[in-house]
Amino acid sequence: MEAQVTNTKGKINIVLKNRQQEMEQLQHATIKRDIDPFRHIDQEFAAFIGLEKLKKTIKEIYANVHINQKREAAGLKQEKQVLHMLFEGNPGTGKTTVARKLAAVFHEMNVLDKGHFIEAERADLVGEYIGHTAQKTRALVQRAMGGILFIDEAYSLARGGEKDFGKEAIDTLVKHMEDASNRFILILAGYPREMANFMSLNPGLRSRFPIQLQFPDYKSEQLMDIAKGMLAEKEYQLTKEAEWKLKEIIVQQKSKRTPDFSNARFVRNILEKAIRMQAVRLVRHDHHLSTEELMKVTVADLNAEE
């Protein structure tokens, strides 16, 4: 009888201990979630190599939104953020891709109502007669409400100087940026030197953009990481030799220091061509192609002439 009681007590003790362990694990998981509120942002931007300042800025914006919600719940004033941005970087450094991604991420964060993305250029804003430009620009801004309006090569708006209708487009944009500052996000993008010149011709314009991001040229190692990411996404893989070859091509191209070197786009173009060449190589085989053969991109594919 005594032995039975001890046995039952032992079982209860084990059950209690397991329960305590479960509770501790649960607590631990909750604490972990609390100390890493940015995990989701890290995941969303994991495919973007480099761009550390951008990632840091998005986390600041997220923190602000989150804390504002808590302030609202506590009956405190909210600090609405103005998020118009300037993106300055050479060709293929990711300006358009990042802007497109931000539209989706900001929608998820409740920063933007709709989260759509409108890419515009000079012809979409500048009209042909007096009044036409303001009307076109206003209509474009209206379409962009709740989303992002991205104007690439923004300096083209100032192309014709003082007498050009481009000036009217800039003035109209500035007016709407202030009137509807929280309802859409304007991103002006372009190459660094041209943007600097454009800003110097329009004093006061730069200061209207609280977020200014530089997109630096990628280092060769970063371009290799971008290449691997692009291939992995498409379910391809470089052989070791092909990796060395691609690195050699990138280093050689970068050393030429041509002003129009197109960074990640240069890499994308090489890979797309190599994938076509791999298909041409494989299509000649009439044996069963293994998964590995279908995935591997070789030096021959990189070297092949179209």
Ligand X SMILES: Nc1ncnc2c1ncn2[C@@H]1O[C@H](COP(=O)(O)OP(=O)(O)OP(=O)(O)O)[C@@H](O)[C@H]1O
Q: Which residues bind ligand X (CB under 6 A)?
A: 47-51, 89, 91-97, 152, 226, 229, 264-265, 268
Query: Which residues touch 228 (CB under 8 Å, ≥6 apart)?
Result: 238
Rounded to an integer, what distance in angstroms lies between the CA atom of residue 136 and that of residue 143?
11
Number of CB atoms found within 10 A of residue 192's CB:
14
User: What is the DSSP secondary structure assignment for residue 296, as one 8-state letter?
Assistant: E
Q: How far is the CB of 256 from ligand X (least distance, A)?
A: 18
- Measured from the CB atom, the residue of 151 and 302 that comes closer to ligand X is 151
| Residue that is written with structure tokens 């044996």 in the block | 287
Q: How far is the CB of 131 from ligand X (least distance, A)?
A: 31
Number of CB atoms found within 10 A of residue 168's CB:
21
Q: How far is the CB of 165 from ligand X (least distance, A)?
A: 24
Q: Which residues pair with 214 in a beta bridge?
A: 88
Strands (E), the chain: 85-89, 117-120, 148-151, 185-190, 211-215, 237-238, 296-297
Contact 47, 41 (CB under 8 A): no
Q: How far is the CB of 96 from ligand X (least distance, A)?
A: 3
Task: Please give the residue whose beta carbon sits closest to ligand X in the complex.
Answer: 94
- Measured from the CB atom, the residue of 165 and 215 that comes closer to ligand X is 215
- Measured from the CB atom, the residue of 62 and 87 that comes closer to ligand X is 87
Q: How far is the CB of 265 from ligand X (least distance, A)?
A: 4
- Measured from the CB atom, the residue of 51 and 120 that comes closer to ligand X is 51
- Measured from the CB atom, the residue of 165 and 224 that comes closer to ligand X is 224
- Measured from the CB atom, the residue of 172 and 187 that comes closer to ligand X is 187
Amino acid at 85: M
Q: What are phi and psi of 226, to 5 degrees?
A: -65, -45
Q: How far is the CB of 211 from ligand X (least distance, A)?
A: 16
Contact 143, 180 (CB under 8 A): no
